[in-house]
Amino acid sequence: MTRELVGTLDSIAPGSAMKVIIDDLPIAVVRESSGEIHALGDRCSHGDISLSDGFVEDDTIECWAHGSKFGLTDGSPRNFPAFEPVHVYTVEINGSDVYVDTTTRK
């Protein structure tokens, strides 16, 4: 199991995303404006674009290059041009520490 500390609750602002690398795997750690935290593969399925550079809105993250939005809970594309989902990983909160488990995909 690869469970890695990726930050603290204070280090991830609501409505933002940050990129982390776990075992050479780029992951977007996203915090909704409501405070809920998610982890997704950090590559748009339409192109090799970092999702963590995109825009967080409600329960989606939008690729800045082509406008595809992905659901934060299931990685599903919400609009074209993307039609393939991105991986979603398990997030665990322990106190104020945020962990991502890359062996568990939702």
The answer to whether the beta carbons of residues 47 and 58 sit under 8 Å apart is: no
How far apart are alpha carbons 44 and 24 in whole angstroms?
17
pLDDT tens across 61-104, in order? 999 999 999 999 999 999 999 999 999 999 999 999 999 999 87
Does residue 105 surpass a pLDDT of 80? no
pLDDT of residue 2: 82
Give me the architecture of the 3-105 domain, per CATH. 3-layer Sandwich (2.102)
Does residue 6 surpass a pLDDT of 80? yes
Does residue 31 surpass a pLDDT of 90? yes
* Percent of the chain residues topping a pLDDT of 90: 92
Q: pTM score, two decimals?
A: 0.94
SS3 9: helix
Question: pLDDT grade, residue 24 (50/70/90)?
Answer: very high
Does residue 1 surpass a pLDDT of 60? no
Burial 11-49 (b: 16+ CB within 10 A, else e): ebeeeebbebebeebebbbbbbeeeebbbbbbbbbbeeb
